């Protein structure tokens, strides 16, 4: 079992600063009082964004920065958090943070909107109150262009639903659902898991959307199948259609379709493109990383690093200081 073969954050330098409510604050000064945690716990939405070094090493390319920040604002709206920064303001703050921290190589960026103030003693106190906004970055690793793959189970834990804890909100608290499912799978000897909706349709893996390839078509659960509206998923759909000329179908997906798929892979900012080698110990028919997955691994790698000049609107370039 290769639980965390690729840590998101390799041991290494902590950046000098983070951005907190409009100011650049020394990393170690950005603390929350212990008594605030009771009121603030769980009331937080976030984004995970990656910036990749360009092919020539001259710049960092933040992948789909604006789409991520728009989704943060969407998450805040759905959580009844007043918006007090625009996506443009947050994009400018992110770029300035990367410059100040002299981010060089592949970097992970985490914006968070949360309540931590001592004045918020109950959930009601947060009504109409602007949350704190935080952006931090750290060096990260990448799995793109490596031989890899996961053996996954189908979880007995059901994916949360829109009328309970909406998966469309990128909320910290939603991750308890993923966490229970993932740890359960690991205890049972799997690398990871895929969750089903309450009606038994495929939803997603913890923090990553699911695709399968069958009879030459690419299929992925629709945005009403208990998934987060993943920005990587959108990029993969477009690369499949526009670069590989493949038919992509967004619809409800049955568990047993995964058993007879030629290829299965997951995608997301953290997961990038992750091949799934088996589901419930039934091997995907391609055996190893299949041909479509391999082409997407290469294409995604080349686009995020601007080796492939296409999709320029997906990259915000931050030149080295």
Ligand X SMILES: *Cc1c(COP(=O)(O)O)cnc(C)c1O
Choices 36-44, 110-118, 223-231, 241-249; region in contact with ligand X by CB under 6 A = 223-231
> Which one among 91, 113, 154, 228 touches ligand X, defined by CB under 6 A?
228
Query: Could you say whether residue 268 binds ligand X (CB under 6 A)?
Result: yes
User: Which among 292, 306, 7 is positioned nearest to 143, based on CA atoms?
Assistant: 7
Q: For this structure, is 150 an active site residue? A: no
Beta pairing partners, 212: 219, 264
Query: Could you say whether residue 55 binds ligand X (CB under 6 A)?
Result: no
Binding residues for ligand X, how many (CB under 6 A)? 13
- The footprint of ligand X on residues 141-180 (CB under 6 A) is 170
Measure CA 238 to chain center.
17
Q: How far is the CB of 68 from ligand X (least distance, A)?
A: 7
Q: How far is the CB of 231 from ligand X (least distance, A)?
A: 4
- The footprint of ligand X on residues 10-49 (CB under 6 A) is 48
Q: How many helices (H) and strands (E) in the chain?
A: 7, 16
Query: Could you say whether residue 232 binds ligand X (CB under 6 A)?
Result: yes
Q: How far is the CB of 265 from ligand X (least distance, A)?
A: 13
Query: Could you say whether residue 230 binds ligand X (CB under 6 A)?
Result: yes
CA distances, 114 to each of 28, 87, 137, 164, 247 (Å): 18, 17, 17, 20, 40
> Which one among 160, 231, 258, 284 touches ligand X, defined by CB under 6 A?
231
Q: How far is the CB of 282 from ligand X (least distance, A)?
A: 24
> Which one among 116, 269, 278, 316 touches ligand X, defined by CB under 6 A?
269
* Helix 65-78, helix 231-242: angle, nearest 10: 140
Residue 12 host element (H or E): none
Choices 110-118, 224-232, 273-281, 282-290; region in contact with ligand X by CB under 6 A = 224-232
* Helix 87-100, helix 65-78: angle, nearest 10: 130
Query: Could you say whether residue 126 binds ligand X (CB under 6 A)?
Result: no
Which residue number, 193 or 232, has a Cβ lying nearer to ligand X? 232
User: Which among 297, 313, 202, 194 is positioned nearest to 240, based on CA atoms?
Assistant: 297
Neighbours of 154 (CB within 10 A): 20
Query: Could you say whether residue 65 binds ligand X (CB under 6 A)?
Result: no
- The footprint of ligand X on residues 195-214 (CB under 6 A) is 204, 207-209
Half-sphere exposure of 151 (CA within 13 A, CB side): 12
Neighbours of 27 (CB within 10 A): 13
- Do 91 and 66 touch, CB atoms closer than 8 A? yes
Query: Could you say whether residue 97 binds ligand X (CB under 6 A)?
Result: no
Query: Could you say whether residue 225 binds ligand X (CB under 6 A)?
Result: no
Cα–Cα distance for residue pair 135/111, rounded to 1 Å: 4
Cα–Cα distance for residue pair 295/132, rounded to 1 Å: 41
Query: Could you say whether residue 193 binds ligand X (CB under 6 A)?
Result: no
- Catalytic residue, candidates 50, 68, 71, 170: 170
Which residue number, 225 or 232, has a Cβ lying nearer to ligand X? 232
Which residues contribute to the site for ligand X (CB under 6 A)?
Answer: 48, 170, 204, 207-209, 228, 230-233, 268-269
Give catalytic residue positions. 170
């Amino acid at each position: 079992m290769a639980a965390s073969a690729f840590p998101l954050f390799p041991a290494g330098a902590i950046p000098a600063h983070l951005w907190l409510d409009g100011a650049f604050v020394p990393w170690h000064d950005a603390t929350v009082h212990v008594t605030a945690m009771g009121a603030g716990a769980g009331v937080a939405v976030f984004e995970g964004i990656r910036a990749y070094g360009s092919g020539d090493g001259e710049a960092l390319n933040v992948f789909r920065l604006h789409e991520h920040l728009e989704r943060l604002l969407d998450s805040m709206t759905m959580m009844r958090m007043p918006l007090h920064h625009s996506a443009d303001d947050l994009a400018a703050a992110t770029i300035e943070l990367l410059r100040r921290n002299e981010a060089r190589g592949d970097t992970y960026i985490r914006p968070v909107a949360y309540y931590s103030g001592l004045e918020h003693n109950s959930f009601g106190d947060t009504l109409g109150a602007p949350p704190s906004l935080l952006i931090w970055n750290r060096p990260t690793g990448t799995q793109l262009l490596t031989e890899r793959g996961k053996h996954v189970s189908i979880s007995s834990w059901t994916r949360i639903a829109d009328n309970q804890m909406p998966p469309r909100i990128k909320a910290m608290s939603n991750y308890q659902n993923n966490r229970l499912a993932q740890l359960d799978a690991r205890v049972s000897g799997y690398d990871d898991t895929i969750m089903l909706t309450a009606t038994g349709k495929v939803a997603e893996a913890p923090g990553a959307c699911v695709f399968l390839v069958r009879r030459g078509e690419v299929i992925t659960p629709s945005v009403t199948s208990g998934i987060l509206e993943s920005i990587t998923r959108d990029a993969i759909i477009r690369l499949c259609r526009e670069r590989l000329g493949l038919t992509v179908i967004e619809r409800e997906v049955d568990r047993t379709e995964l058993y007879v798929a030629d290829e299965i892979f997951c995608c997301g900012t953290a997961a990038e493109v992750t091949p799934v080698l088996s589901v419930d110990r039934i091997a995907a028919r391609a055996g190893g990383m299949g041909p479509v997955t391999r082409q997407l691994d290469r294409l995604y790698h080349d686009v995020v690093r601007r080796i492939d000049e296409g999709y320029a609107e997906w990259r915000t370039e931050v030149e080295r200081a």
